[in-house]
Amino acid sequence: MASATSAHLFFLFFFLFTLIVLPLRAVGQNDGNVEVGASLSATTTTNSSWLSPSGDFAFGFRNLYDSHHLFLLSIWYAKIPDTIVWYAGNDGVLAPEGSKLVLTPNSGLVINDPQGNVLWLSPKSAGLVSHGFLNDTGNFVIKDDQNGVLWQSFDHPRDTLLPTQIMETDGVVSSRVSEANFTRGRFQLRLLEDGNFVLNTWSLVTDFSYATAYWMTGTNDPNNSTNSGYRVIYNEFGNMFVLRRNGIKFDLLPDSIVPAKDYYHRATLNFDGVLAWYYHPRNVTGGNNSGWSIIKSVPDNICLRITGEVDSGACGYNNICEIGDDQRPSCKCPPGFSLLDPNDKYGSCKPNFKQNSCEEEGNGGYRLEQLTNTDWPTSDYDQLVNFNAEQCKNSCLNDCFCAVAVFRLDTSTCWKKKLPLSNGRKDSTVTATAFLKVTDISTDDDNPEGPVPPNPDPKSNRKRLNYLVSVLLGTSVFMNITLFAGIGLGIFYFCNRQLSHARGGKVNGENNVRHFSYKELQEATNGFKEELGRGAFGVVYKGMVGSTPDVRRFVAVKKIDCVSSKEADREFKTEVNVIGQTHHKNLVRLIGFCEEEEQRLLVYEFMSNGSLAGFLFGEFKPSWVERVRIAQGVARGLFYLHEECITPIIHCDIKPQNILLDEYHNARISDFGLAKLLMLNQSQTQTVIRGTKGYVAPEWFRNNPVTAKVDVYSYGVLLLEIVCCRRNISAEMMKGEEGAILTDLAADCYQSRTLDALLHDDAEALADLPRLERFVMVALWCVQEDPTMRPTMRRVTQMLEGVVEVAIPPYSTNSCISITA
């Protein structure tokens, strides 16, 4: 009897332990440590997270506000769960429900979706993971067995900085698109190479940071480098300052700081471009975002501070910015305009009417809306002096190019502007009146999104519904079931067939690329007749996939002819598995593949303008603007391959033939899937010599470790070819003694300050001499013999775009080594 009672008590205790203790253990741990193998799941049924020792911060999946099925791996205040201070991925990696986060020994933190595909991982340095740790400052750290840091969230800030966090030179904090959209927005907080701490806008399309800052600390000193800033420190007391090289601090916050022992602190670059320092009492439960108070925010009036000639301003194009009492901007479309994206009130506005045509007679049925204290200071195309307001209005109304006229009474000047309008602002300090041209047809102010179609008579709708129900219920139950089943099966069959036609083959669930049969590709290429080119791995043919006219498209089919060895077959499989998850606007996208007996084929999107080689070395020289854009595009693509894709990739064969051009002449890197992959637990790899004569880095021939710097070398050669529109090695010039190797010639011309000799009197490029000189200097850094002296592709991209200064390169090239070895 006692034994039975003991057994019952044991099972009761075990049940209570399972019911209470284990869920608490899943929520968090007392010491902040996370063991290798620990995991978290993205699910609404359990709220699992890892806690810091004090319980101040939590690390785990957060269910996004607008979706019950998408989750964001993030760090937040455990007592203020609405305040997220860090999240995985620059643009916020969205994990579907059922995804899992695991701390692994080789790769650190890894998020897998329910199918096992890798969505994100922490790019740690070399070494095995011992454990993870979420400390009480909100920093998640991955450590090795020597307690060394392999990765930490503080090194990858998103839109928020926390006390004890430090920003080094070239550090960047980016805003979100909106409060609930964690994709990177249009605003950046940066510590520049010259020591200036600035706020600026940047292009979401080109990743280009605009040079005009709308707020800055002025901690750069061109006359005395020791007086320039080099680090931004947010200390444990809640003070933030720029530290100059001479040790002097430039304080960013007032002296009367809120004590950090009693309050949480954070500095956040808000989605509207305002940088604000916040505080919130620590002794709260169930806190929320509304409990945060502002210590300071900059700039004072962002609507007036953003005045660059490029970009739309604080709000989108054609929008008007107005500052509120809280120093936060609001945006509103002018009369006759509505939001391009109804969900983005800070975005651009479009006219709700047909724009003026110069073919129309008179004013074309337009009138002028008068907007006081309103201005769009850019977009001018004409200035009329000694005008009054009436003359200004009439001039715009009768000018088919004019979208708005801004009249300034103090100067009696009329400025006429075209769409799109940028930097729109309304403020009492703006001494201007805008006359906006709109259609004479009035719009409904209560419906800025445009006219709504008339509602049908609700009684009529109800009659139709009643009639339909009566017909269905009037028949037998069996007939109704049969009818509904038939309709459902028909819809399913039709959609499935259409989807299959559109895809042109099955979709591989592992990598989201299409699996074609050999017969399908044979038919698509008309028996492999039209050859596009040949390479080391096979021949490329032009084809067309899709069974109906609306889904047909051209493709490039690469027929691999070297699959006899296991190594080549392994490279093929690696490309399919990895490149299916690799997407960038400067990479050629893999559409599908074929793996059938001995046949191995890859299907890529078709690039209508061929290779960069044909574009650069053809009969006509491309414009300097096009060449600049192509050079920057290739650099961004390589930067993505080296640092931003899930599995870092070394291309190993960068050359003009492997850079293709799409219909808009955008540069797209190809063949990167056939390169040697840099494994997740390695920082370098050694393999057989690969590449093309004239582009191969010297370390290939010296039995030295091969790193991503081999691509940097090849890019340096390619950059000079783009600048000069000539090949690095010219067969004709090899017969002479001088100028045979472009890299050597470029170094000589740079040293002697005779870049005009390098470009053969290219007037367009020489007119842009500062950029030309910068590009040549970057190229010379890239082709340094010592790989450690070459910059990373991240740095190359920044130097090309003028974000960071380019130092004078040492005189050292080794093209001869690469060619003759």
Cα dist from 18 to 205, 398, 551, whole Å: 51, 80, 55
3-state per-residue secondary structure call for 540-563: EEEEEECCCCCCCEEEEEEEECCC
Q: Kindly report the CATH class assigned to 499-606.
A: alpha beta
The rounded distance, in Å, linking the Cα atoms of 414 and 770 is 35
Question: Cα separation of 234 and 257, whole Å?
Answer: 13
What pLDDT score does 205 carry?
67
778 Cβ neighbours under 8 A, 6+ residues apart: 716, 719, 791, 796, 799, 800, 806
pLDDT tens, position by position, 453-465: 434 444 444 444 4
Q: Could you tell me the pLDDT band of residue 34, with boundaries at 50, 70 and 90?
A: very high
Give the pLDDT score at 202: 86
What is the DSSP secondary structure assignment for residue 673, as one 8-state letter? G
Say what the pLDDT of residue 230 is. Answer: 94
Whole-number Å distance between alpha carbons of 100 and 96: 9
Report the chain's mean pLDDT, rounded to a whole number. Answer: 80
CA–CA separation, 433 and 426 (whole Å): 10
| Superfamily (CATH H level) for 21-156 | Bulb-type lectin domain (2.90.10.10)
Q: How far apart are CA 91 and CA 83, in angstroms?
A: 17
Task: Find the range with the poorest average confidence among 391-400, 549-558, 772-781.
Answer: 549-558
**Percent of the chain whose predicted confidence (pLDDT) is above 70:** 76
Q: Which CATH superfamily is domain 320-439 in?
A: Hepatocyte Growth Factor (3.50.4.10)
CB-based contacts of 272: which residues, under 8 Å, 6+ apart? 175, 187, 302, 314, 328, 329, 346
Kindly indicate the confidence band of residue 339, based on its pLDDT and cuts at 50, 70 and 90. very high
Domain with CATH 2.90.10.10 in the chain: 21-156, 157-299
Question: Phi and psi dihedrals of 311, rounded to 5?
Answer: 85, 170
DSSP one-letter string for 58-82: EEEEEE-TT-SSEEEEEEEETTEEE
CA dist., res. 253 & res. 269, Å (int): 15
| CATH domain 157-299 topology | Agglutinin, subunit A (2.90.10)
Q: Which residues are catalytic?
A: 653
Q: Which residues pair with 375 in a beta bridge?
A: 425
Helix (H) / strand (E) element for 395: namely: helix 389-397
Do 671 and 560 contact (CB within 8 A), yes or no? Answer: no
Q: What is the pLDDT of residue 66?
A: 56
Residue 244 has pLDDT above 90, yes or no: yes
The CATH class, in words, for 610-821 is: mainly alpha
> Residue length, the chain?
821
Is residue 559 a known part of a binding site?
yes
3-state secondary structure of 181: coil
CA distances from 233 to 197, 230, 267, 336, 383 (A): 12, 10, 12, 48, 47
State the pLDDT confidence band at 561, using cuts at 50, 70 and 90. Answer: low
d(CA 362, CA 399): 9
Ordered DSSP codes for 220-244:
--TT-GGGSEEEEEE-TTS-EEEEE
Please confirm whether the linkage preceding 787 is cis (ω < 30° from 0).
Answer: no
> Is the pLDDT reported for residue 752 higher than 50?
yes
Q: Please, which residues have CB within 8 angstroms of residue 256's CB and are 6 or more apart in sequence?
A: none
Which pLDDT score is estimated for 444? 39
Q: What separation in angstroms does the CA of 72 have from each of 116, 315, 379, 637?
A: 17, 27, 40, 26
Confidence tier at 48 by pLDDT (50, 70, 90): confident
Residue 240 in tokens: 């933030």
pLDDT, residue 685, reads 43
* Cα–Cα distance measured from residue 197 to residue 215, given in angstroms and rounded to the nearest whole number: 8
Residues of the chain with CATH 3.50.4.10: 320-439
Q: Answer yes or no: are the C-beta atoms of 695 and 818 closer than 8 Å.
A: yes
**Full DSSP string of 772-787:** HHHHHHHHHHHT-SSG
Predicted confidence (pLDDT) per residue in 215-227, tens digit: 999 999 888 888 9
What lies within 8 Å, CB to CB, of 109 at 6+ separation is 73, 88, 101, 102, 103, 120, 121, 122, 132, 142, 151
Distance CA 96, CA 603 (A): 28
CB 310 within 8 A of CB 291: no
Q: Which residues contact 483 (CB under 8 A, 6 or more apart)?
A: 472, 475
Average pLDDT value for residue range 467-472? 40
User: Of 289, 296, 258, 255, which Cα lies nearest the Cα of 274?
Assistant: 296
pTM for the full predicted model:
0.55
Q: Give the residue with greater pLDDT, 550 vs 316.
A: 316
Residues 6+ apart with CB under 8 A from 253: 238, 239, 240, 241, 277, 295, 296
Q: Encoding tokens for residue 167? A: 């920003």
Average pLDDT of span 514-521: 91
**Rounded Cα–Cα distance for residues 545 and 505 (Å):** 9
Looking at the predicted structure, is the pLDDT value of residue 695 above 90?
Answer: no
pLDDT on residue 595: 84
pLDDT winner (highest mean) among 61-75, 323-337, 588-602, 671-685: 323-337
* Number of other residues whose CB lies within 10 A of the CB of residue 170: 14
φ/ψ of 718, rounded to 5, equals -60, -40
In single-letter form, the type of residue at position 769 comes to L
Pick the most confident of 9-23, 132-146, 253-267, 473-487.
Answer: 132-146
Beta strands at 33-35 and 140-143: parallel, antiparallel or unpaired: unpaired
